[in-house]
Structure 1
């Protein structure tokens, strides 16, 4: 089995990169792509753990792309060599936008009578990325809600009182940055764009001209019949195909490491065509975490 979409505490996952790789070893997963949101901060730790456990690591990332909606357009970068100068510049810009959004969320919470400082929320983050799940954990700890899901349902979900729109980058910008770091750019969980397969095929053909290399055809939450159509669509366009769980931690019972749509195991063939971590020792892997 393999898995080309997983998160760690470097962004909004609940396992550290080392714990994630160890779990891959225990679960019989031979190749894993670490695709944290907006950061490569977990890459070196993942690479070291991969060497220890005999798990091949693909360095990846997940970025949010400007999209008028409905739905969300996320882009995977797979097979990165590290952080190129162009990718570093883009990630610094994204982190600045994320900090502004987090400040706005905190302001909304204070306006509602919940006293909060960002460093208090940061205590729930395992890395340099502070996101809505960390605000949810803060609200649980303060007794405002009982569960993180309740925090999203009542306060943090799209359109809820503490929600703030997230600024994003263009597909062309993100794809170019990924390519500059030696990676491939694939649309993540495309069914979350809420388009029909025919409409999606037309858009993907357009996005291919802007640097899109492939499609995560098999992903959690999708119907297997749709996934097969997505793979056929990508094949017709001569694009890469990947599959992933979008694993964030064992707490999410609907996303199992090494499994995708309808809980099917992810076949080894999906890891073909994506470069593994290109070093024998992780000391050579350059990432930017500023």
Structure 2
């Protein structure tokens, strides 16, 4: 099995980079990409552990992109280095994320809840705090009973504590990934909330702007949708990737390392088709 989309405690996963690699090895994953949100901090630790575990490791990142509808996430797979351009993008995303978090803390305090961002960072041992951390913190503080309730009542879009986060410019992000030796891949394409009837010209435009791959297989979509995305991707000249978007079973019990839509194992054939592109 392979897995080209996973997260560690460097962003919003629950396993450290080393623990994630060992977890993958114990579940017979032979190729693993670490793609933490807006940070490359966990890559070196994961790479060293992968070498010990004899796993082919793919250095990656997942960037939040400014987009008018839904959520646009851009994977960078096969990074050879973290170039100045990518560092600049990551630093600005980190700054924007921190500003957003402080504003969310302000809203919590205005609602009468005692909250502290530094306490959340210490609790989860990461500087890359996002809404999943807030949700877990709210459960711990007994503000809500479950993480899902935290999102439904307070953190989801249009909920009282939600703050829009500014993403990276798409063209700048594509260029930064390429200058770092990586390949730009559109993650979970259906999350931009454009229907199949209208998505083809959007993807054509993204291909022309430099995106090379499409994550056709993702657990957030149905199997039939993923197969349609695969067909569309190949027709438009994208290479196809697949991932679990694994954060840890305690976060999403339905997402298993090495598995994607419909609980399907991610077969080695996906990697066989693209390994020369990714590893270069």
Using structure 1 for the length normalisation, give the TM-score.
Answer: 0.92
Report 1:89-238 matches (<5 A).
89-238=88-237
Report 1:32-111 matches (<5 A).
32-69=32-69, 71-111=70-110
What is the root-mean-square deviation in Å for CA atoms of aligned residues? 1.3
Unaligned residue ranges in structure 1 (runs of 5+): 279-290
| In 1: Cα distance, 2:223 partner to 2:161 partner | 35
Is structure 2 residue 278 aligned with structure 1 residue 275? yes
Shift of 1:82: 2.3
Shift of 1:197: 2.1
Unaligned residue ranges in structure 2 (runs of 5+): none
Runs of 4+ in 1 over 6 A off after TM superposition: none
Shift of 1:193: 2.0
SS in structure 2 of the partner of residue 5 of structure 1:
coil
Give the paired residue count.
276
Residue number in structure 2 paired with 1:10: 10
Shift of 1:256: 1.1
| In 1: Cα distance, 2:187 partner to 2:167 partner | 15
| In 2: Cα distance, 1:119 partner to 1:197 partner | 43
SS in structure 2 of the partner of residue 146 of structure 1:
coil
SS in structure 1 of the partner of residue 4 of structure 2:
strand
Q: Deviations over 1:239-276 (max 9, x none)?
A: 11100010000221221110111111001122233535
Shift of 1:31: 0.3
Using structure 2 for the length normalisation, give the TM-score.
Answer: 0.95
| In 1: Cα distance, 2:132 partner to 2:106 partner | 17
